[in-house]
A and B are shown apart, each in its own frame.
Chain A
């Protein structure tokens, strides 16, 4: 267990080192929040209630997604494993005396914690100062939200890990990663809240794993999740465990297939 904690801690330290990049990222996330807030506010002015959200909910949603995009890794198509498979450095990772998937999960948790610490709060605070928002005061909601965010990261990691593993067969995960990025941006609810999507598109979007990365945790915080906190946990945990299990099976297949040259 200690090895995973150390991996997470070192990964955390690596990401918090670049302070000016953090400031730049916060400014960028907040600015995009403003643009998206204006678009949604115009939409909500025409129709004051959409998918159970009022205008304040919609704005809160926008700035929460802007704050969570980096820690949850919605804007990442893969993990740092991909380039290591391409260059062959993965041979070293395969020799490590610890679980391969666990090792990469630990580094991703370190990355997520650094982003959570530095990049999540500022856009939400800035959004709250600039617009009427609807953040709950009830501490229980925030604790439930924290649980959902952990599961959201697991789902996001499990999918990105699978895309990274594809490099064992295709030698280049970048094509797959860029496709995943498009799918993840849309079906996480980053571009448009999933609750605003009509008919079959909305039903499909809300059933896919990506809805568990942003829409579900935020709905738990806003108190607008149809099946409550328990339903949210069940939905997220099923997708997270299922996808992590697939990742495990694919890791084994890759391990059997890989031939390390030399030495």
Chain B
């Protein structure tokens, strides 16, 4: 989606790319890779710190895992879901979220970049703004989250009492891909609000980190109005809950139609388009904070 973004600022554009505004010299994907490579090299200068930070990221993922084990030490089912079943939700959520965290959590830096004025510098560079923002302060420590979450997912897949069919394997893999895309879209979408109001980094966390916490658990623990809101208004249900009902062979406790279980790819696509449109609109209306 990043490739299609037009350069937003005509006046600056003329300075930055006098030979042709619509074709930046470096493609968005390449720019993203170059920038993340640069940030990785920067982080690598402090190897000891990077190793500790990566460990801390892995441990923080384990925390929710331990919390889940604590819950199941007290109760045998939660909202009708056993430990392996909930861990399957946890694993798919965490792996999908960790991928989106690696790719897109740089969006969190946007609020700061707008406040301090460094976003203006990004507009001058002959590269799209989105890859620059997403690569901002990239750090390889984020890969730390993938290790325990993948381990939990593999354990859950081996322990849920289902017969794995090719269709279920396909839905499981698509859950991770679509979940990651939905979370990437949420990173961009929620942080785009920073263009219109300052200090919006924390409320954006409700949908990103809060969304992660929500989709780790069976939606059966929520009441009906909340579950419907999380399905149709904020489509977090499609990250893991709906496709996992199919994989785990569960009935929908809210009685929603069965085709929703296979709708995650459509939702992921719509969310991406929405995020791209929001970003484009926001950048077009951007007015620098400075004088």
Q: Which chain A residues have a beta carbon within 8 Å of chain B's beta carbons? A: 18, 20-21, 24-25, 27-28, 31-32, 35-36, 38-39, 41-43, 46-47, 50, 170, 172, 174-176, 178-179, 181-182, 185-186, 191-192, 196-198, 201
Contact = CB atoms under 8 A, between A and B. Distances in A.
A52 to B, nearest CB: 13
A179 B59 contact: yes
Contacts of A201: 70
B154 interface: no
B213 A35 contact: yes
A50 B1 CA distance: 49
A35 B210 contact: yes
B75 A182 contact: no
Interface string B215-244: 001001110001000000000000000000
Contacts of A47: 74-75
Contact of A46 (B77, B217, B222): B77
Contacts of A197: 70
28 contacts: A18-B199, A21-B202, A27-B206, A28-B202, A28-B203, A32-B213, A36-B213, A38-B226, A39-B71, A41-B221, A42-B220, A46-B74, A46-B76, A46-B77, A47-B74, A50-B74, A175-B48, A175-B51, A176-B52, A178-B57, A179-B52, A179-B59, A181-B60, A182-B59, A186-B66, A192-B71, A197-B70, A198-B70
Contacts of B74: 43, 46-47, 50, 196, 198
A172 B48 CA distance: 9
A191 B213 CA distance: 11
Given A24-B202, A39-B217, A179 B55 contact: yes
Nearest to B214: A35
B221 A39 contact: yes
Contact of A31 (B51, B56, B64, B210): B210
Contacts of A35: 210, 213-214
Interface in B184-200: 197-200
Contacts, number: 100
A172 B206 contact: no
B63 interface: yes
B205 interface: yes
B71 A43 contact: yes
A18 B115 CA distance: 13
A42 B79 contact: yes
Interface residues of B, number: 42
B79 A178 contact: no
Interface string B60-97: 10011011001101111111000000000000000000
Interface in B88-138: none
Contacts of B222: 38
Given A46-B77, A176-B52, A182 B60 contact: yes
Top 5 A-B residue pairs of the complex, sorted by shortest distance between their CB atoms: A175-B52, A42-B221, A178-B56, A46-B75, A21-B199
Contacts of B226: 38
A38 B221 contact: yes
Given A35-B213, A182-B60, A174 B49 contact: yes
A178 B53 contact: yes
B195 to A, nearest CB: 15
B259 interface: no
A25 B202 contact: yes
A250 B178 CA distance: 50
B7 to A, nearest CB: 30
Interface string B16-34: 0000000000000000000
A25, A41, A185, A192: most-surrounded residue (chain B CB, <10 A)? A192
Contacts of B79: 42
A182 B210 CA distance: 17
A192 B222 CA distance: 18
A46 B78 contact: yes
Interface string B31-61: 0000000000000001011111101110110
Contacts of A32: 206, 210, 213
Contacts of A27: 202-203, 206
B63 A181 contact: no
Contacts of A179: 52, 55-56, 59
B57 to A, nearest CB: 8
A24 B193 CA distance: 12
A191 B67 contact: yes
A181 B52 CA distance: 12
A113 to B, nearest CB: 20
Contacts of B202: 21, 24-25, 27-28
B56 A181 contact: yes
Given A38-B222, A41-B221, A42-B79, A28 B67 contact: no
Contacts of B77: 46
A47 B71 CA distance: 10
